[in-house]
Structure 1
């Protein structure tokens, strides 16, 4: 189904939006749009919404199974605005958001789908799930000038770290159970990345509720949503494996000619499997054995 804008979607597709976990995908360009949408369909989301420019096309199977919304994705806060517009319409429902060429992985996702994950997470009295955005990149930039290749995808196996997240309301003291995470291409090429865009933590999965707002830094106005664990034990975390930073670095005039390759001694092929991400410590199963 195709909708002329978000208001049209919310009015006409209320049943589909509230039927189960909802995925919102903001399409910024025409890179790996179909694979992104299919990946999240296969992950178990009940409805997948594609927010995309009217000029873009979709394969026939996705035209019939994806909720497509004509949307201007060029605005700097396009995703934030879309998420905050949808939240009041789906209060009580779990929502996921990402960009095209980003792929969600969670512990044991090969055998346990997103509905099972969120059922368990809800039983742990959690309303949000932390993820790390893990940069993917192609090694052969001559063959893949946009740095995107599913077959040649690589990631950094180390170089990740966390810093305490200060609370301005408490004279800069650290916030409870909150950290700022860094690493990947945003760390290795930080001279080309604005300081406010260097974090790799994101809260991409959350339960919508009245008054909840997504902020520009991918955190919410409810501080408990921004925590990495509950007070009594560790919780599940996930990984959003993303070509977005690599694409940006190779398309930005200020950086593309400065980066002949993304390869370094800690690059390794991405196996497209949750076990690799768990072994590298890039997500946490918590109590979900």
Structure 2
């Protein structure tokens, strides 16, 4: 189904009361079909694709999603759309990402996202920390836009966390690593973090803020006070794309590969083994 705006969707086709909803914000048409298919395969009850009218929705993805016309490149577009969905469907679990980004969580090959969120909710958690793990092509000479699912690499090491300054920041950290760390001279300081609260349960009065955090500080925590909780990873070509499109970085960077690069296996086990997500008490 197609909707001419988010308001049109909310007024005529608001999501059903059960099952998590994925919101994919298309900044361009790169790997849009694979992004939609990946998230539909995880078991989301509904996959919403917000995209400008001039973009084409790939034919093979039409049956897996609902298209909503939206100027995704306008300032504040993502925040505004997410907050509108929160207001419209309190109690519902939501996830958001951009095209050419892929959600992985522990055991996602055999367990649905609904099963995972049910367990997370039983641990009295209303949000989940996700780490944005940069993916990139191994050979920029043959793949100049740095996007190659078949030849994708990720960094095995180089990730770290710093205490988040400010009052009320218990169990909150700022996480860094990947291309944003290795090529930080090309990344604005406010864009270098790789943590994102991308999975959350809507409630009245909740708002997504800049920096992929919420105005409820408990939503921004990585775990509850008594033990470790589940975390997830969003494997993303977004930073690699941006560094290749920016003239200043495109000609400065000959390759994204380094001695700690490894082929991405497209499996949650690799991310667990590298410590890039946490199963918590879920086995």
TM-score of the pair, normalised by structure 2: 0.98
Distance 1:25 1:55 in 2: 16
Distance 1:188 1:127 in 2: 33
Distance 1:200 1:157 in 2: 15
The answer on whether the counterparts of 2:135 and 2:152 sit within 8 Å (CA) in structure 1 is yes
* Aligned residue number for residue 261 of structure 1: 255
1:36-65, Cα deviation, whole Å (9 max, x unpaired): 011000011000000001111123343233
* Aligned residue number for residue 22 of structure 1: 21
Distance 1:144 1:6 in 2: 35
* Aligned residue number for residue 95 of structure 2: 96
**Aligned 1:6-45 pairs, distance under 5 A:** 6-14=6-14, 16-45=15-44
1:128-168, Cα deviation, whole Å (9 max, x unpaired): 0001000000011122111000000000000000000011x
Tell me how many residue pairs correspond in the alignment: 283
Runs of 4+ in 1 over 6 A off after TM superposition: none
* Aligned residue number for residue 120 of structure 1: 119
1:114-134, Cα deviation, whole Å (9 max, x unpaired): 000000001000000001000
* Aligned residue number for residue 200 of structure 1: 194
Distance 1:192 1:21 in 2: 36
Distance 2:39 2:63 in 1: 15
CA RMSD of aligned residues (A): 1.0
1:63-83, Cα deviation, whole Å (9 max, x unpaired): 233110011011132211111
* Aligned residue number for residue 228 of structure 1: 222
* Aligned residue number for residue 190 of structure 1: 184
Distance 1:64 1:42 in 2: 12
Distance 1:175 1:70 in 2: 37
1:186-236, Cα deviation, whole Å (9 max, x unpaired): 000000000000000000000001111111100000000000000110000
**Aligned 1:70-81 pairs, distance under 5 A:** 70-81=69-80
Residue 273 (structure 2) pairs with residue 279 (structure 1): yes
1:166 alignment partner, SS class: coil
Distance 1:187 1:112 in 2: 32
Distance 2:187 2:180 in 1: 6
The answer on whether the counterparts of 2:32 and 2:58 sit within 8 Å (CA) in structure 1 is no
* Aligned residue number for residue 106 of structure 1: 105
- Cα 1:45/1:253, change in 2 over 3 Å: same
Unaligned runs of 5+ in 1: none
* Aligned residue number for residue 264 of structure 2: 270
1:258 alignment partner, SS class: coil
Unaligned runs of 5+ in 2: none
The answer on whether the counterparts of 2:105 and 2:277 sit within 8 Å (CA) in structure 1 is yes
